[in-house]
Structures are given as structure tokens and as C-alpha cells.
Amino acid sequence: MEKKFLWVALGILAVVIIAVGIAGYVNRQNVAFDGSVISPAIEAPGITLTGSTGETVRLSDYRGKVVLVFFGYTSCPDECPATLAILRQVRADLGAEAAEVQVLLVTTDPAQDTPEQLANYLSAFDPAFIGLTGSGSDLEAVYRDYGVTVMEGGETHSTRVYVIDRDGKLGLTLPYGMTPDEILHDLRLLLGSG
């Protein structure tokens, strides 16, 4: 009876180990993001602009962190503040891991959005957010690389957040309307803590 049971227990152990192995493998293969996946991920187009800190900011400065790039302007009435408020919430929920996530707002209205104006505006959300502005041609190049159309007065129909992983790869965008929990879920997967 005991000998028989030991075989049963070994069988159960084998079943569990095999199942865990399969699940772990499958999990690694298709990580389920809530946002829109770009597969295969592309090399994120470079960004070199003037930051709201007054210094030159390059996207590559944040290699090793997850970068969220958003396009908007400070006098934007709807999507921009809504998105920034959600991103603030996400960073707050991330706790200590928030240091691994950098939010960049690229202005679509450089005439209005000076570095000071951007710093002022963003500090109302999260002082860690960085705003980016620059010359018209530098900004145009970034808009083009990210496929963002900008109309007169800074208005844009591009309300997505571009998510760049630790290796500088763009493999995920967050459409407007995602909840903080969904974004948190995706970021945790990218941070390797999901």
C-alpha cells in the first residue's frame, strides 16, 4: 500500500512539474499585453530635443528604463491631461518600480510650450515627467518618425502612448482609453515583474 502510494505521489509530482514547465514556456512565448503590440518590435526612432529641465534630452539617455512617449501640448483641453493623469496614477501604483519608468511629453505646440511652460504644466501631474520641445524641424522629424500628424495650434489626433522597452525597442503602444490597471499590467510585464 505504501509502496503503491509512493508511485502515486511520484506520478503526481511528475504531472505538476511537466505542467509547470509547459505553462512557464507558453507564458514566455506569448506575453499577453493589454495594449497594441508591434511584432516584431522595431528600434525606437531616436529623439534629441530640449527638455523641460533646460538640458538636451536624448531617448537613448533612458536606455535600461521603460520610456513612455506621448505627444501633446499644455493648452490641450481633453486627451492630454486625461492621459497624463492616468500615467501619474500608474507611476504611483508602481511604487518603487516607478523609478524604472520615464514619461516623456513631446510638445505639438512649440510656439506656446517653452521648457518653462512644460515644466510648470507637468509638475502639476508628476514632477518626474519630462516635457520635450525644440526647433520646428527637429520636432517635425520626431513627428514623422513616430507617425504623428500635428495640425495648427498643436492639435493632434495621435493620442497613443508609445512604450519603449529597456533595450530601446518600440514594441507596444497604448491606445487612448486604457485603464491605469491595464497599463500597470503591461508595464509590469515589460519590467519583468508581471
Partner 1 sequence: MAHTGESSALRLGLLVFLSLAVLTGVEFGLALFLNVWQLLLLVAVLKAGLVLYYYMHVYKLFKADDSPDHDSYAYKLATNRMGLWLFFISDSFIFGGLMLARINLLGLTRPELNQLLGLGVTSVLLLSSFFMNRAETAMAHDDRKQFLFSTAVTLTLGLLFLVGVVGVEWQIAPFGPGDGVQGAVFYSMTGFHAFHVLTGVIFLVIILRNGLRGRYSSEKHWGVEACTVYWHFVDVVWIFFYPALYLIGTML
Interface residue list for partner 1 (CB under 8 A) = 1-2, 5-6, 8-9, 12-13, 15-16, 19-20, 23-24, 27, 185
Tell me whether residue 10 or residue 42 sits nearer to partner 1 (CB atom): 10
Residue with cell 514594441: 171
Which is nearest to 106 in space by CA: 64, 59, 66, 151? 59
Rounded to a whole number of angstroms, the minimum distance from the CB of residue 96 to partner 1 is 18
Rounded to a whole number of angstroms, the minimum distance from the CB of residue 188 to partner 1 is 10
Rounded to a whole number of angstroms, the minimum distance from the CB of residue 35 to partner 1 is 17
Rounded to a whole number of angstroms, the minimum distance from the CB of residue 39 to partner 1 is 22
Tell me whether residue 12 or residue 42 sits nearer to partner 1 (CB atom): 12
Rg (CA), the chain: 21
Tell me whether residue 20 or residue 42 sits nearer to partner 1 (CB atom): 20
Tell me whether residue 6 or residue 99 sits nearer to partner 1 (CB atom): 6
Query: Is 160:176 a contact under the CB 8 Å cutoff?
Result: yes
Query: Is 150:143 a contact under the CB 8 Å cutoff?
Result: yes
